[in-house]
A and B are shown apart, each in its own frame.
Chain A
């Protein structure tokens, strides 16, 4: 059992949990994730380790309530416990001194970008961050990102905060202005990551994305998380989750993410409470 020490609602439907998991907190690195199961009938769902504290033995999870499992998780209160938390899974981000690193986070993707941006900054890079959301109320971790970035751009689809438009807009402007970019890291919805990949591809700017296919075990046992990268199949949980964006088959990834759409609809029919499991 993994006790939740603190909960916080960051924006509508987005929650942050601080969870006691000493073994994981001791070991984890930016870029890694965990797989949790709230209770006996629960689904195994992956969530990125958004932050960690080695002293207190805790990790931070930031998640969006999108379906039954995340909503069920969201109903838990501080003091209650999550049945299973396994990790840290996946490979750590390759943190090094590259020069100028652009860190892009879209929607809930800002959560995984945050520890990575911080690590690049600590490694001596110039960090330019771009974070975006549909509107101001959905924007998360703005303060935190500002604190670990040399420059922070904010975009919203409706212009309620920052630049009206998409996260690729500031990136395009930087390129157009001839700014030297040594590395781009982008995490968010697949459409966004693909968009970033298309912007940087013509210029040969090294671009890393963190992929989020449907997973079960997270240890390389099921093969459900396979994604075609450079025309060979990779298991995102053990070979990734970060990959060279210019090699990823985003279309295939998107199709596979929709595999259980009908099931998910059926599941949600049991009402907003979704207390069937």
Chain B
């Protein structure tokens, strides 16, 4: 058999897109989608499904696309995945569904993510009906955090018939989908559409509501009549490197840099009130999705040179393959096997350079990746005036510190089992706050499981009462 190649997705040219914040990839046309769907062998065993954390029935939805039924394709996907328009765009497919596709062995796997996105963009969303006006809800559930985990749990519980309120600390729901992942990769209109869908299901979303500050979890139970609480507060605490110069002006955490630009629209300053410092030469430390997003955002803001500084080699880069590819095409420059040593500053307290040291790969470490070791005497200086630290995030402790009886692990993540039960009765948790920074689809999967567990828990509780 010939090498089977997947269909390319139309996209803006690199020259064009590095000047705007519009979505880079344009999505399949109906014809391309059909042709790509035709590549699927409709395998009985569907190995691709095992690669999907929520086991979307991939051959089934692709079959609908082949036969021109995008509406049913979406309905099929939504059985397992509430946010197909999002996941089709941001899942690391090459490590998940597409990795296990049988065609991957013979050439290139079916472009499952692109087809999922096509279905979501073109098919009508076939969600469940809102609870009838006046119908008695099954119970009252609070969701803390409006990221993918919380929104998924909220949607599923509303469909089951619960009265659901989502409490979100920021002024906009969406979590990382809103404040972290940039517009050019995930248009905010898509996220807003999903959130509007939830509101139509009767979900109440209360913004500016910070659990642990505005109210505590115990108060939700004792004073507001909630019977169960799901915590999906994410991994929002930025890590710094603890190297000299990190407090200089011009040093950002990726969270701050991306929040200023995405959530606060700093790229429209002064029409929008929030400023952002755009360096001429910008170093981004790290090479995950967060780092790629920061680097490509800096380019679009007008930086002349943007460097990715990463201590391992290209093989270990954790970002999605597509993002890495796009970053390269757009002209992001890679300093691999390189670690920052200190940030140099001007007299006035601004970044003036980044001293780096070259690394070589030694023996594999606990994660199985080869450990980078500094090469003595290889220090050199990158001429930069802005540095973005994208080296990971930890759990924000606000909720954990104010919720007695809620157990956390040594990293401060909430301990929850597969189903979402925590050590505290009636309190469930899932997503990045439990697993540490992971992926959208895993957070959604956790939200789905927790909705099931909450339903079961409340049904049992009510049965006992009766």
Contact = CB atoms under 8 A, between A and B. Distances in A.
A83 B170 CA distance: 12
Interface stretch (A111-119, A202-210, A256-264): A256-264
B264 interface: yes
B398 interface: yes
A88 B249 contact: no
A255 B348 contact: yes
A38 to B, nearest CB: 8
A3 to B, nearest CB: 14
Contact of A23 (B169, B215, B253, B349): B215
B12 interface: no
Contacts of A181: none
A267 interface: yes
Contact of B256 (A27, A41, A216): A216
A260 B213 contact: no
A189 interface: no
B352 interface: no
A140 to B, nearest CB: 25
B380 interface: no
Contacts of B208: 84-87
Contacts of A263: 269-270, 275, 277
Contacts of B260: 216
A223 B171 contact: no
Contacts of B348: 255
SS class of chain B's interface: helix, strand, loop or mixed? loop
Contacts of A270: 270
Contacts of A227: 247
A8 B252 CA distance: 38
B187 interface: no
A88 B213 CA distance: 6
Contact of B237 (A220, A258, A267): A220
A43 B237 CA distance: 21
A221 B176 CA distance: 11
Interface in B142-183: 169-171
B240 interface: yes
A106 B5 CA distance: 70
A24 B214 contact: yes
Interface in B394-410: 396-398
Interface in B243-274: 246-249, 252-253, 255-256, 259-260, 264-265, 268-274
Interface in B173-218: 207-210, 213-215
B139 interface: no
A135 interface: no
A221 B255 contact: yes
Nearest to B253: A223
Given A221-B238, A260-B277, A255 B207 contact: no
A238 B398 contact: yes
B130 interface: no
A41 B265 contact: yes
A226 interface: yes
A277 B268 CA distance: 10
A222 B256 contact: yes
A260 B214 contact: no
A224 B398 contact: no
Contacts of A228: 247
A270 B271 CA distance: 10
A58 B228 CA distance: 29
A248 to B, nearest CB: 12
Most chain B CB atoms below 10 A, which of A43, A221, A233, A260: A221
A68 B273 CA distance: 8
A52 B38 CA distance: 65
Given A219-B213, A270-B270, 10 more contacts: A41-B265, A44-B274, A83-B171, A84-B171, A87-B213, A89-B213, A216-B259, A217-B169, A220-B398, A255-B248
7 contacts: A42-B273, A216-B264, A220-B237, A220-B398, A238-B398, A258-B349, A264-B275
